[in-house]
Structure 1
């Protein structure tokens, strides 16, 4: 999940990844609704959907940086890059499968990450202008494709989703696994590839330029605000919300409350108005544009601060450089916490992890070392990159 550490590493990108890590952790630990009400908690309002989108967008930036950044590598270099990224993707996916076997209520993203890395490989060599068109088109049209495919898949594949995290035993149900990963699961790769494509596009820019950093920030704020405005107009004055409230799902659930936090578990079929919502984890065009916009804004802000005051971001950039290890450790810790007969208070659980993670990351940074899983991923990548050169020789 973190790119290979180099002397020219952008602390702002690591800091953005750190924000994504701690934001996702907060949604795993703290309640997303105010206890006893249908009102969204501030954690649910701020971090739900946005943190994981930031994780994915920064992953796309990482892929661009691995393949040359603004100065994209030549054909031979891109071939090596693709082999290295594919090996890295396999390691990440395998870690995700191992974590998927744990007893936890958390939707683990790592297996999906590995699949998304592989799906993004054909786009690494695209010129920026063509990539921009692909990214825009995928962001706007992939939700439509998912909306059309979902009812057909649910009738053709039984079961149509895993009902939990992907694990090794699910390879015995290949159609269900594929359907869940691409369309029906918690992180549908069909729509989530949008974040990686947008991230690759951002990563092809000169991220050390102040003008580019400010532009990414302003473009992100503008896209996020526009998406919410369009969604509100479609659902309000044009009557979309009234239609949704009249559906079976709208009568069964407190849909207005869920629109603020997450539409996970809601069957978004039967009316095209579902594509107008901007709720977290709805996978609609307004959701993808809004969350990609907030992610870009965070990236732009972190780059601006990191290029001037990198020490200020150290509590975020240090853990952001080893998120594969820290995220995996967090999932394991929460699997233990979830099994307690008396659930502990969320604040100590969260802050204990956050403080330890920052301390460990700062120590490893001081020692010029990576996290253990980062070593494995980077080692696999280096072997795969070298393999092709050896065969050619």
Structure 2
């Protein structure tokens, strides 16, 4: 859902693979798209009273959407100077382009908000995230990492303090549905839901874009950087998930929260493994100690940022391997990743058409997913091979170009005296 990256893995005259980095980033986007689609189509819980998590829920819930957000930050870092952030008029032009692109994405999201789907659509939040990080796109990698660390620590606490106040308003500042054009008539509810009370709380999710910006400021073409991302991301992800498990299971956090909820319809042990979205996380500071997906806590942000960094490292390594063996192993994935806005929109429209409709004879839910997944990969491969942009990517690219346009400076001829 970001600007289209390089789609051919070429070599410079020195033999350095010039397209490897962007091919890996686009492939990571394609992987994130497939994982998000899996959580949309396939069950994340078994249909039993205990809501036993499925492997789809355990593997992808929370992590796929976070990977999308981190990759948004990576894309912004790459488009605003890479290791040398833009400054001065160039930076302001880039900010204007990003802002106009965000408005287009937001308009698409609001239009899709009217679909009858049992899916939390991310596009409006995605657009707001782009706008919120505009002040930070001129920062270098070290400052971005420090800011991301501070945001990961502070924003969950601030959200925990503010959410009860927003939910106690009359009416509560929560939509309960995907944002649509009609919600512009109630801006307080729309903003309250988008930033704090909804499925993708922008206040905490800004951390993902800051992490992604910091990754985008790294020398991703260097051989050691993908290994660093893989190793550091894995360590952070494992440590934060381990600490969250300790706080809930060994230190009594889950028992305390179960006593507070007191509702057997919410088997907390399962929800902590898959998804805390929709659970009222107030009334106990133990809510801040979990690493559950979609909890928006410090440990959740750390875990999902770590897994995103590790996946990006793996995809960069695979892209490099493809250049070494002269075989574009990532063509379908990177092609899909270069047009995620178009493919994500098409997926939502398909799911809207299937909503509350019986499946055709012989079809299963798994078949519906794999048909869409194969369609995504095939479409991505064709568009990448032909070096085409996706239709909505053309629109966002044009918006970016219009927003970042700077008239050429005309030098006045000197006058002879």
Alignment of 1:314-393 (within 5 A): 314-341=331-358, 345-386=364-405, 388-389=406-407
| Secondary structure of 1:176 counterpart | helix
Kindly indicate whether the alpha-carbon contact (under 8 Å) linking 1:208 and 1:307 is maintained by their aligned counterparts in 2.
Answer: no
Q: Matches of 1:226 and 1:389 in 2, distance apart? A: 50
Q: In structure 2, do the counterparts of structure 1 residues 4 and 317 end up closer, same or farther at CA, with 3 Å as the change threshold?
A: closer
2:275 corresponding residue in structure 1: 262
Counterpart secondary structure, 1:72: coil
Q: Does 1:271 align with 2:284?
A: yes
Q: Does the aligned pair in 2 maintain the 1:33–1:39 contact within 8 Å?
A: yes
Whole-angstrom distance in 2 between the partners of 1:31 and 1:228: 23
Q: Distance in 2 between matches of 1:338 and 1:353?
A: 15
Q: Deviations along 1:310-369, whole A, 9 cap, x unmatched? A: 512222111011000000000000011113145852111111111112112211112211
Q: Does structure 1 retain, via aligned residues, the 8 Å contact 2:42–2:365?
A: yes
Q: What corresponds to 2:42 in structure 1?
A: 30
Mark the runs of 5 or more structure 1 residues left unpaired by the alignment: none
TM-superposition CA deviations, 1:283-319 (whole Å, max 9, x none): 1111111011111100011111111215122221110
Q: What is the CA-CA distance between 1:127 and the residue it aligns to?
A: 2.6
Q: What residue number does 1:313 align with? A: 330
- Once residues 211 and 263 of structure 2 are traced to their aligned partners in structure 1, the CA distance between those partners, rounded to angstroms, is 32
Give, in angstroms, the shift of residue 392 of structure 1.
9.4
Contact 1:157 1:175 in 2 (8 A): no
Q: 1:76 aligns with which of 82, 89, 114?
A: 89
Q: Which moved more, 1:247-256 or 1:171-180?
A: 247-256
Aligned to 1:3: 3
> For residues 90 and 246 of structure 1, do their structure 2 counterparts lie closer, same or farther at Cα, with a shift above 3 Å needed?
same
**C-alpha distance 66-243 of structure 1, shift in aligned 2 (>3 A):** same
- Alignment root-mean-square deviation, CA: 1.7
Shift of 1:160: 1.7
Q: Write the mapping of 1:109-188 to structure 2, written as runs, cut at 5 A.
A: 109-156=122-169, 158-188=171-201
- Secondary structure at the residue paired with 1:34? coil
Contact 1:244 1:250 in 2 (8 A): no
Distance 1:392 1:94 in 2: 36
Q: Distance in 2 between matches of 1:84 and 1:390?
A: 17
Shift of 1:391: 9.6
1:249–1:266 CA contact under 8 A, matched in 2: no
The counterpart of 2:112, out of the listed 99, 120, 127, is 99
TM-score where L is the length of structure 2: 0.91
Whole-angstrom CA distance in 2 between matches of 1:258 and 1:365: 39
Give the SS at the match of 2:119.
Answer: coil
Q: Does residue 87 of structure 1 match 2:105?
A: no
Partner Cα separation in structure 1 for residue 44 and residue 223 of structure 2: 36
TM-score by length of 1: 0.96
Q: Which deviates further from its counterpart, 359-368 or 52-61? A: 359-368
Aligned partner of 2:32 in structure 1 is 20
Which has the larger displacement, 220-229 or 247-256? 247-256
Per-residue deviation at 1:157? 5.0
Task: Give the corresponding residue for 2:15.
Answer: none
Cα contact 2:196–2:203 (8 A) shared by 1: yes
Give the gaps of 5 or more residues in structure 2.
9-17, 412-417
